[in-house]
Amino acid sequence: MASEEETVFEGYLHDVTQMETSGNNKDYFNCYLQTSGDQYRRCVVFDIKKHGYYVKAAADRKPLKIINAGTILNKFIPGQLDIRIYYASTEKVLMSLDFGYIEKPSIPNSVEEALVPEYVARQRLEVEQQEEVEQEQEEEQEEVEQQEEQEEEQEEEQEEVEQEEEVEQQEKEEVEQEGLTTVRGQVYGVQLAAQRQCSSCHKWQLAFNLTAINHRCKACGLLQRFGSYVQAVNGTLMVNKGDLKLPLTLTSTVLMTYLSQNDLQELLADVQLVEEHFLEVGLFVIQYNAKNEVVVVTTGNV
């Protein structure tokens, strides 16, 4: 590329060619612009609508000023710049130039031009046009990437908003937890039941023969070893809260936590042992929620 950008050219048009079509279906034509008494610069015109005007301007030998043009590497002579005329380029007819119209010699501008066949020149032009198309595509790709980046940023912002909402949700849950009731009282009654859950279909088993080695699931019919069933023990604790007799639901999860924290898992061998444990200890500190479900149970002696 030229170090200083040429955009305005003055001269006379010569030898406007017929329309050519490049390999990527872009039409163009060539001509020469006589820019001095003895210099003829090759032009490439991609705006084919200019063809009629250029043919006539050449025939009329009009002195022209071409504005908003550019340069393009000569296909024959490396490093030499031809004039490139764009769609946005405009032509003005001048009153005169300080040099006259001189018929372009039929001899080639250079030896190289004579040696390079026209089809080779066309191929080179196609390559350049292809590069231009690729550059446009790259620019479009960049735009797409920038857009994707923006969308990513928006997604990140969205995630931040969601995280904030999550924090708010957690705070809300904490408030609900703060709404838990804690009672320190005597367990005066307890009713627990052992249930076993099928390891395959997860259905609870109503009748479960503890003396059998195997048990057939009542729901899916799968015969399984006793130990394959997931054990759950849950029920109701009756607690005195002042003068109130409070029935609280004890879930298996909370009970298992209590038993493991107090190293009492062996009591699970017989559910009645667990029930008797609650009555023997007597005093408990129990946290329960609005649905009267026990959340935490600890012995009142701690």
Cβ-based neighbour number of residue 19 at 10 Å? 10
What distance in Å separates the CA atoms of residue 67 and residue 301, rounded to the nearest whole number? Answer: 98
Contact between 41 and 82 (Cβ < 8 Å): yes
Pairing of strands 63-67, 20-21: unpaired
Per CB under 5 A, the segment of 38-46, 98-106, 122-130, 217-225 that binds Zn ion is 217-225
Binding flag, residue 59, Zn ion (CB under 5 A): no
CB of 269 to Zn ion, least distance (A): 24
**Binding-site member from 58, 83, 85, 217 for Zn ion (CB under 5 A):** 217
Amino acid in position 86: Y
**In the complex, minimum distance from the CB of residue 220 to Zn ion, in angstroms, rounded to a whole number:** 3
**Residue 198 sits in the site that holds Zn ion (CB under 5 A):** yes
Quickly count: other Cβ atoms within 10 Å of residue 120's Cβ: 12
Tokens of residue 279, six digits? 């009555």
Q: Applying CB under 5 A, which part among 56-64, 143-151, 200-208, 236-244 lies near Zn ion?
A: 200-208
Nearer to Zn ion, 88 or 220 (CB): 220
- Region binding Zn ion by CB under 5 A among candidate stretches 69-77, 116-124, 127-135, 213-221: 213-221
Shortest distance in whole angstroms from residue 232 CB to Zn ion: 15
Nearest residue to 245 (alpha-carbon basis) of 181, 186, 179: 186
Q: How far is the CB of 271 from Zn ion (least distance, A)?
A: 22
Provide the 3-class DSSP secondary structure of residue 187: strand
Interaction between residue 200 and Zn ion (CB under 5 A): yes
Label the pairing between strands 230-241 and 181-197: antiparallel
Q: Evaluate whether 197 touches 205 at the Cβ level (below 8 Å).
A: yes
Stretch that binds Zn ion, among 20-28, 160-168, 211-219, 287-295 (CB under 5 A): 211-219
Residue where the block lists tokens 């048990």: 215
216: contact with Zn ion by CB under 5 A = no
Q: How many residues bind Zn ion (CB under 5 A)?
A: 6
Asked if residue 9 lies in contact with residue 41, where contact means CB atoms within 8 angstroms, the answer is yes
- In this structure, are strands 214-216 and 204-205 parallel, antiparallel, or unpaired? unpaired
Stretch that binds Zn ion, among 55-63, 157-165, 216-224, 288-296 (CB under 5 A): 216-224
Q: Would you count residue 180 as binding Zn ion (CB under 5 A)?
A: no
Of 115, 144, 167, 201, the residue at the interface with Zn ion (CB under 5 A) is 201
Binding site for Zn ion (CB under 5 A): 198, 200-201, 217, 219-220
